[in-house]
Amino acid sequence: MSSSVHLFRDQRYQELKGQCLQQGILFEDPEFPASDESLYYDSAAKGKVEWKRPKDLCEDPHLLVDGMSSHDFHQGKLGNCWFVAACSCLALRKSLWQQVIPDSNEQEWDPKSPRKYAGIFRFRFWRFGEWTEVVVDDQLPTENGELIYCRSNVRNEFWSALLEKAYAKLAGSYQALDGGCAAEALVDFTGAVAESINLEEGKYGEVISEQMKLFEDLMKVHKRGGFISCSISESPGRPSEAETGTGLIVGHAYSVTAIRKLRLGESLVFSFKAEKLFMIRLRNPWGKKEWHGAWSDSSEEWKKVSDSERKSLGLTVGNDGEFWTGSCRVWLWAMKKAGHDGNSKSQAGLELLCSPAPSFSRHRMTFEDWCKNFTDVDICRTVNTSCFSLHKTWEKEMIYGAWAKHPEPLLNRSGGCFDNRETFLQNPQYLFDVKKAQDKVLVSLQQEDRRKYKKEGKGDNITIGFEILKVEDNRRYRLHKLTVQERVATSPYSNTRSVFLRRTLQQGRYVLVPTTYIPGVPTKFILRLYTDVPSKLRELKADRPKMTCWSLLCGYPRRVTQIKVHSAEGLQKQDRSGGADPYVLIKCENQSRRSPVQHDTTSPVFNTQVIFYRKDIDSPVTIQVWNSNLLRDQFLGQAVLAASPGEPREQQRLKLRGRGGGEAAEVPGHISVTVLCSDDLGEL
């Protein structure tokens, strides 16, 4: 057992199995007994259920039969299509499902040694930042001798039913799995980061170019080992599990099991008239129900797909008896003609194909219709953090945190979203650095799974999100007032378990503020940040510099000063092209901060921010402008500021002067700054 794996309820698989084998009994799990309390959190939902072991349901039971496939199981009576859809995705990646079902061969039934079977299994889930091992017995809920929940279409295969039981144990009961998001289970299976896209809000049904970008993004995610599912949300007049006029199911998760590109017909060398199919395969966890459309077995459209392309995919049209018989496969594709305008609707044509049992019939749905019919897409990205990979490697930082309510404002850590301006900065705050000129940043904020609270009536997810603020390059203490800081990114606010944001940020220092939408809602969360180079993510806890014995001897700060240098203009030309390579140097007492160099300009935009905690309040702040040179930098001018609390708080345009005091000679150029001061060190 790896020390990095947490044991749920402190149950040790090997010890429990050894005890059962020694006593010659089958394991009965006291932490998740074969009783109604494991089935329901709501006493009114009770039904007539009989618990049976696999040996009582079939001969020669197995955990896996001929490996794991994305189409060898069905949902059952529980409303957890989201979980089953996630299982479909998991089955596509052997390396990943082997993490979820560790040592599957060792857990398998051995018909030659029946005495080695103890009726105990173990599964692992990535839960709240760590792998958690869950032990279950093999007693499963049945009615009339049939499994009532998730089951394989191979009668003697039980991995899906046992995996579902382990997941229900984590949630507190089977009923607690009723309703959810496929991305939640996929994160629990893999440790991936989840992103949800609302197709209606993004207007993907209207903008063809956005449809094509989405398809390319989905294909990239799938190629890199990620997972995708889609669904139709409930709305007035469109209740959950209702069937639309086109055969799709409302509130139902469809898993993506493949994404391919195909040529239409036999294309010729140097031909610009070739058409392509962009194909995405989806699966209905019910094993039935399909989109109604025009691409039937004998349709003329199939003649556009060459025999070689069909063979490469393993596709045939007709009663071919393929191994997914009995399941529902949905295929989507887009047809794109070379030379068409990127915004032309004639460029879009995504086709949706379904395969009912026993034949493999296919039906058509344009991608535009797909975007209009499906409302939500969940994407789980497996972010590569391996140092030994040939592909892009991300630097990962992860921090555990919590929103905690407290009557004292300085101690409160549940201030609500940005709209709550008076309390927003009372949330937890996390500092990180972008060290490159530009860096793509991935952020995932995940709240704790609240299904275990359903019995208490508190099982709904909380609406969460986060803000990213550009702050002073040398900030070390918590923000108390939004002044010179720039709000550079806002995540979606959602009641899903996690929210995700991708954003390219400029070099500098940032504060990330995770929030609940409403103030005063306590819960735990984990924050994950991925960057190209280490970001040194850390929580800001202190409100001001700490008073120490050393500070009593050397002096304690008496004033805090914020300075933002916005830009400069009219600087003296320094090179033959008539430009310069300026940067600013901000000095205060024995501290200084330098901005990045702005190249080939005499009107640079700096947007550089600094903060100083000043002991000698009579010592001025000096802002110098320099020109960067290979051998020796050249001084271009400066502005000297008293920086006292009584000075204007608005942006100022200052004339640059030479070295010396306020009476120094003027030099070409102006500089625009904002200066804020306070003798209350906790104000800024």
As annotated, the active-site residues are 81, 252, 284
One-letter identity of residue 139: Q
Strands (E) in 404-497, as ranges, are 429-447, 464-471, 486-490
Q: 346: helix, coil or strand?
A: helix
Distance, in Å, from the CA atom of 483 to the CA atom of 487, rounded to the nearest integer, reads 11
Say if CB 663 and CB 555 are below 8 A apart: no
Q: Give Cα separations from 519 to 416, 428, 452, 461, 469 (angstroms).
A: 4, 12, 23, 15, 19
- Rg of the chain over CA atoms, in angstroms? 31
Say if CB 334 and CB 215 are below 8 A apart: yes
Residue listed under structure tokens 């709305």 = 235
What is the distance, to the nearest Å, from the Cα of residue 496 to the centroid of all Cα atoms in its chain?
Answer: 11
Torsion sign (Cα): 77, 83, 89, 95: negative
Torsion sign (Cα): 571, 572, 578, 583: negative
Q: 652: helix, coil or strand?
A: strand
Q: Give Cα separations from 486 to 434, 508, 509, 539, 543 (angstroms).
A: 15, 12, 11, 19, 20
Q: Phi, psi at residue 228, to the nearest 5°?
A: -140, 140
**Cα dihedral: 648, 654, 659, 662 (round 10):** -50
Q: Give Cα separations from 381 to 124, 504, 530 (angstroms).
A: 19, 17, 12
**H/E element holding 394?**
none
Strands (E) in 107-204, as ranges, are 120-127, 130-137, 140-143, 146-147, 151-152, 193-198
Of 656, 683, 651, 653, give the one whose Cα is nearest residue 668: 656
Distance, in Å, from the CA atom of 383 to the CA atom of 159, rounded to the nearest integer, reads 27
**Residue 420 has which token pair?**
């709550």
Residue listed under structure tokens 């998740």 = 32
What is the distance, to the nearest Å, from the Cα of residue 50 to the centroid of all Cα atoms in its chain?
Answer: 39
Distance, in Å, from the CA atom of 596 to the CA atom of 606, rounded to the nearest integer, reads 8
Q: 536: helix, coil or strand?
A: coil
Distance, in Å, from the CA atom of 392 to the CA atom of 389, rounded to the nearest integer, reads 7
Distance, in Å, from the CA atom of 487 to the CA atom of 521, rounded to the nearest integer, reads 23
Residues with Cβ within 8 Å of residue 117, at least 6 apart in sequence? 26, 109, 110
Say if CB 426 and CB 490 are below 8 A apart: no
Say if CB 74 and CB 153 are below 8 A apart: yes
Say if CB 347 and CB 336 are below 8 A apart: yes
Angle at 160 between CA 158 and CA 164, to 5 degrees: 120
Burial 609-629 (b: 16+ CB within 10 A, else e): bbbbbbeebeebbbbbbbbbe
Q: H helices then E strands: how many in the chain?
A: 12, 30
Distance, in Å, from the CA atom of 446 to the CA atom of 525, rounded to the nearest integer, reads 5
**Residue 489 has which token pair?**
């990114």
Distance, in Å, from the CA atom of 558 to the CA atom of 555, rounded to the nearest integer, reads 9
